[in-house]
A and B are shown apart, each in its own frame.
Chain A
Amino acid sequence: MNSAPRLPDDSVNLGDQRPVRDIVQLFAGITVVVVGLVVVIALATDVAVGFISRDTEKAIFAPVLDTIRKSVGGSDATKEANEALRELFDRVHANTESLPYEFDVRVTCYAVPNALALPGGGILVTSGLLKVLHSENELAFVLGHELGHFEHRDHLRGLGRGLVVAVALGLVGSAASAEVVANISNAALAAHNRGQETDADLVGVGAIVGMYGHAAGAMAVMTALSEASHEDFADRVDILRSHPVSDDRKQAMRELMQERNWRSNGKLRPLADALQAPCAATPTAG
């Protein structure tokens, strides 16, 4: 035998490379599939939630309300503060659709401004939020907003969706792209949540117009929240945020008020004294 050393054709193993085209195609394809799945899951859970009567919801969640509340954090507020909040809440409830829950409305001493609607009929307002709001009208709007969530069963829907999407992602499991998929599905869910928040806003505005004759408190809340969270340009374009940026919410509100001929200016009533100092000791830091 003879030695006839030759170099083989190396393009055979280098393949036909078009990585940019590949990435764009794959990304687009996967986004379409994931968003489609999320939409289907959201619709399915919405339908499923419709089958859970409010009585069933009460029966399941009321007993664990305390546990849920404790998991949110913060310490108990003064009795007077809770009573004052309850009194205001009853007035708001009188101005929205009557819901059959036995509402448990409380203030919790926690520095981060927040208001939560808990399944089973719990409503929690943090002392941090009370510091940021300047009038009774604003607080009434917040309570009305939370009642809006109860009206639309948003808290249950959120739970259900979160569960199903988490299970689906778990099946996807160890694939390296799970992170990408998780981000895409979060963005899709966030868009859905933004719609729900705006719907709840509309219930809130309706409530305070009924109570005070004008909607001055609603706009004030948006401004106060925006200042408190120091929103900037980056936040405005962030598609992963589930709470709609103030500008969009304000816009939706303005449109509704124009449509219904509601006044956006009026006198604001100050917060009840007990609510201005709801915590005996210093609240827990966030």
Chain B
Amino acid sequence: MIMTTTDGVPGRTVVQVFGVVTGSTVRAKHIGRDIAAGLKNLVGGELRGYTELLHESREEAIKRMTQQAESVGANAVVNVRFATSSVAQGAAELFAYGTAVRVE
């Protein structure tokens, strides 16, 4: 599955446009990361626990988006965008969306 953030796939032609496909996941951090983050807020620096968490979530969201694309018969997803938002205290939603197309 080809994925781009541009309008089409450079060097190929878009033949069919199927529509918007999305992939999302909501993850909660566990109490250990919460406490560690609280402590890290004192000294600053990268919150590695969260980085990993959000990275895994993003991978999952992309996977779901490509699953949707496959289900409509696409071989590429173009103009992919991401959004991260907090949906509850301690939980974040990751979602990826793009347009499923067939390129040749």
Contact = CB atoms under 8 A, between A and B. Distances in A.
Interface string A1-42: 111111111001100000000000000000000000000000
Residues of B in contact with A, size category: 20 to 34
Contacts of B69: 8
A8 B16 contact: no
B19 A175 contact: no
Interface in B4-26: 13-19, 21-24
Among A5, A8, A13, the most chain B Cβ lie within 10 Å of the Cβ of A8
A9 B71 contact: yes
B18 A4 contact: yes
B69 to A, nearest CB: 7
A9 B67 contact: yes
A174 B19 CA distance: 41
B64 A13 contact: yes
A8 B31 contact: no
B100 A8 contact: yes
Contacts of A12: 23, 64, 67-68, 71
A75 to B, nearest CB: 45
Interface string B32-65: 0011001000000000000000000000000010
B2 interface: no
Nearest to B73: A6
Q: What range describes how many residues of A lie at the interface?
A: 10 to 19
Given A171-B35, A175-B31, A4 B16 contact: yes
A8 B16 CA distance: 15
Contacts of B19: 5-8
B18 A6 contact: yes
Nearest to A3: B17
Contacts of A175: 31, 34, 89-90
A176 interface: yes
B87 interface: no
B13 A174 contact: no
Contact of B90 (A5, A9, A174): A174
Nearest to B38: A173
Given A12-B64, A175-B31, A175-B34, A1 B71 contact: no
B1 interface: no
B38 A8 contact: no
Interface in B67-104: 67-69, 71-73, 88-90, 100-102
Best-surrounded residue of B15, B69, B72 (most CB of chain A within 10 A): B72
B88 A176 contact: yes
| A6, A12, A172, A176: most-surrounded residue (chain B CB, <10 A) | A12
B21 A8 contact: yes
A2 B15 contact: yes
22 contacts: A1-B13, A1-B14, A1-B15, A1-B101, A2-B16, A4-B16, A4-B102, A5-B17, A5-B18, A5-B19, A6-B18, A6-B73, A7-B72, A9-B71, A12-B67, A13-B23, A13-B24, A13-B64, A173-B34, A174-B89, A175-B34, A175-B89
Given A3-B16, A13-B68, A174-B90, 9 more contacts: A1-B14, A3-B17, A5-B19, A6-B18, A8-B19, A12-B64, A173-B34, A173-B38, A176-B90
